[in-house]
Amino acid sequence: MNAGGAATPGAPAAPAADTFELLPRDLAPYRAGNTGIPYVHRFDSGRPGPHVLVNALTHGNEFCGMVAATHLLDTGVRPKIGTLTVSFANVEAYESFDAARPLDSRQLVHNLNRIWSEAWLDGPEHSPELRRARELRPVVAAADHVLDLHSTSTDVPPFWVYPQFERNAAAALAVGLPRIHLTMPLGLGTGTPLILHGLHGQAGHHGVGLVAECGGHFRRASGEVARRVTMRFLAHFGLVEAEQGGAAEGDAEPPCRYELVHTRVVKTDSFRFARPLVGFETFARGELIATDGDEEIRAPCDDCTVMMPTRRPIVGREGVYLTRPMPPTPPQRPVPAVPPRS
């Protein structure tokens, strides 16, 4: 891999401006749900099986999850075994969307995907995101398996993100789409994401927790990817028939896996990348990636691949993920598609 080259063939260039192919729709019809928690819907098959949570809108401007969740509800998808829960998380941020400032509705105060620790949930602070996380806490805790649907601020190929547990890798590889994987051996280092809440953050737990980054925020294709991934995820765990998952372009391609090495947080208002980045660019060991005030951020390893470079540096928020390539498939024991509940 040449320094500065693209880690993923065909990765698109950053658009000059956002293209709004996908915009919010009115979620008021979904508010009541059937659980006593706003925007949470649960369907129990009455038959033994896993409890799967499909979560949308952890970030308010990531509309692909809304597409997948409304598809499940609008088309009457019901589990043939186990239980299916569908939730819309940060609806308050979602409803604040303004196309003139499309990144602002990601969150109102806190990043809803970094506050799932006891310290935050049981702590003294208050915000719209903390209030919602406290409401959703029993919803997440009740699920065996969690699919959290996200999108990216730049138009890059879809990819999985998950804690580096064998059960997560096995499920992501079995679902197949997306074919790119980002594993987190030590978490993100900037807080606790939803998929690491409670038992899902423990090595001995049976439950799978995956984030699917489905493509650019406002691309119509990201909604279709989210829908496909959701149906395949449900099929893998036996809640729907496998053929409902459908075949996807790229299924025959081998997986491409990366390991998170470091999450760089913006420290100063003068954070700058050495050159424009979209994501999946690679750097040689020691090559300059960015500067943050007087600090130089250089590649910590050969073939260092950058993921999710920020479009708008904000002090205290994540600036870029630094990763390294991994073997395409991990060694693993056979894992049943529908593990028993604990």
Task: Single out the residue of 154, 186, 195, 242 nearest to residue 54, CA to CA.
Answer: 195
User: What does DSSP say about strands 159-163 and 209-216: parallel, antiparallel, or unpaired?
Assistant: antiparallel
All residues at 6 or more sequence positions from 275 whose CB lies less than 8 Å from its CB, including other chains: 4
Task: Single out the residue of 141, 127, 151, 145 nearest to residue 58, CA to CA.
Answer: 151
SS3 194: helix
Tell me which residue has tokens 């809108």: 57
- Alpha-carbon span 214 to 63, nearest angstrom: 10
Query: Given this model, what pLDDT does residue 333 score?
Result: 52
Query: Given this model, what pLDDT does residue 129 score?
Result: 98
Mark out the alpha helices in 182-263 (DSSP H runs): 220-236
Report the pLDDT averaged over residues 216-231. 96
Tell me the β-bridge partners of 258: 182, 325
| CA distances for 111 relative to 122, 161, 187, 191, angstroms | 16, 17, 16, 9
Query: Given this model, what pLDDT does residue 188 score?
Result: 86
Q: How far does CA 218 lie from the centroid of its chain?
A: 15
- Alpha-carbon span 121 to 103, nearest angstrom: 25
All residues at 6 or more sequence positions from 53 whose CB lies less than 8 Å from its CB, including other chains: 85, 86, 87, 139, 140, 142, 143, 145, 146, 147
Query: Given this model, what pLDDT does residue 1 score?
Result: 31
| CA distances for 42 relative to 35, 84, 271, angstroms | 7, 6, 44
Provide the pLDDT confidence category of residue 75 given band limits of 50, 70 and 90.
very high
- Whether the per-residue pLDDT at 231 is higher than 80: the answer is yes
What domains can be seen in the chain, in order of their start residue?
A: 28-255 (3.40.630.10), 257-326 (2.40.50.630)
Tell me which residue has tokens 């909604």: 223
- Whether the per-residue pLDDT at 119 is higher than 90: the answer is yes
* Sign (positive or negative) of CA dihedral 204, 227, 322, 254: positive
Provide the pLDDT confidence category of residue 341 given band limits of 50, 70 and 90.
very low
Q: How far does CA 118 lie from the centroid of its chain?
A: 21
> pLDDT tens digits, residue range 11-64?
333 444 678 999 999 999 999 999 999 999 999 999 999 999 999 999 999 999
- Alpha-carbon span 66 to 149, nearest angstrom: 9
Query: Given this model, what pLDDT does residue 242 score?
Result: 81
pTM of the model: 0.90
- Check if the beta carbon of residue 306 is closer than 8 Å to that of residue 34: no
